[in-house]
Amino acid sequence: MAFGIFFVLGLFIGVGFFPAFCQDAAELIRTIDEQQRKIQTVAARFSQKKETSFFREPLISSGLVKFKRPDQIHWTYVKPEPMEVVLDGNTLWLYTPGRSQAEQYSLARGKRIVQFLDPLTAIFQKPFAELAEGYTIVFEGLAADHSCHFRLQPKGEKVQRFLSRVDLWIDKSSGAILRFKMLESNGDQLSLEFENLQINPLLTDDDLKVKIPPSVRVLEQSGP
């Protein structure tokens, strides 16, 4: 996944942390900006937790993720069930190995799925100048692991209907996003943590394509 948000000096700085750190905030943002501009590809392990009112217990999953600029993302879920989720800019692919069919969604026609995916893709792919158009961005200070905590709150009413906020924890030295948390307006939460990060590994376009055997039927979906 693209771990590249380009932070600039106009970033709105939050309050509530040590004055000495406030004095260093501009330099911190410059450092993160410089590091993130260098990121072209990323590979990492991820763990995901989905908390929803539909289930008593959180839904836990894990696997591998790969990203290549500008818009190729490949999620390989290992647990609880093998599955591939692939975004190539125009299409979303869902494939569970061993099954006789896969699903293909056109992002141009699937407005609802784009609405849900946009917070995930936008914060990882768009430069800060574009992000600031749709989100109010607040720097919350340093977390216990010394990662830099940022909070994004949507400005538009349409997005606010389903998204309350997004929290990011970013590694200063590499510019990589270590943790991600999305709070939906209905109270559901999606959390992601990344480990064993590889910055700029050699990845070809073929490495990020979904691998669907010829015998598997692909269903073209116009929604949701």
81: left (phi over 0), alpha (psi -120 to 50) or beta: beta
Q: Which two tokens stand for residue 210?
A: 């979904």
Is 81 within the bounds of a domain? yes
Q: How far apart are CA 99 and CA 92, in angstroms?
A: 18
In terms of residue numbers, what domain contains 154?
A: 19-204
Question: What's the pLDDT score for residue 120?
Answer: 63
What confidence tier does 127 reach under pLDDT thresholds 50, 70, 90? low
What confidence tier does 122 reach under pLDDT thresholds 50, 70, 90? low
pLDDT tens digits along 176-208: 889 989 999 899 999 999 999 999 999 999 999
Q: Decide if pLDDT at 224 tops 90.
A: no
Domain count, the chain: 1
What confidence tier does 70 reach under pLDDT thresholds 50, 70, 90? confident
Least confident of 9-23, 106-120, 144-158: 9-23
Identify the CATH number of the domain in which residue 100 sits. 2.50.20.10
Integer Rg of the chain from CA: 18
Q: Which residues are paired to 220 by β-bridges?
A: 104
Q: How far apart are CA 189 and CA 51, in angstroms?
A: 5
Q: Which two tokens stand for residue 10?
A: 């106009």
pLDDT tens digits along 14-62: 323 333 333 355 566 667 777 777 888 889 999 999 998 888 899 999 9
In the 3-class helix/strand/coil scheme, how is 62-84 assigned residue by residue? EEEEEEECCCEEEEEEEECCCEE
Is 8 within the bounds of a domain? no
Residue 188: phi and psi, rounded to 5, are -65, 150
Question: What's the pLDDT score for residue 134?
Answer: 82
Following DSSP, what letter does each residue of 30-58 receive, concatenated? HHHHHHHTT--EEEEEEEEEEE-TT-SSP
Is 199 within the bounds of a domain? yes
Helix/strand/coil for 182: strand
Q: Which residues are paired to 60 by β-bridges?
A: 49
Q: Decide if pLDDT at 143 tops 70.
A: yes
What confidence tier does 12 reach under pLDDT thresholds 50, 70, 90? very low
Is 6 within the bounds of a domain? no
| pTM for the model | 0.78
Q: How far apart are CA 86 and CA 208, in angstroms?
A: 8
Question: What's the pLDDT score for residue 218?
Answer: 92
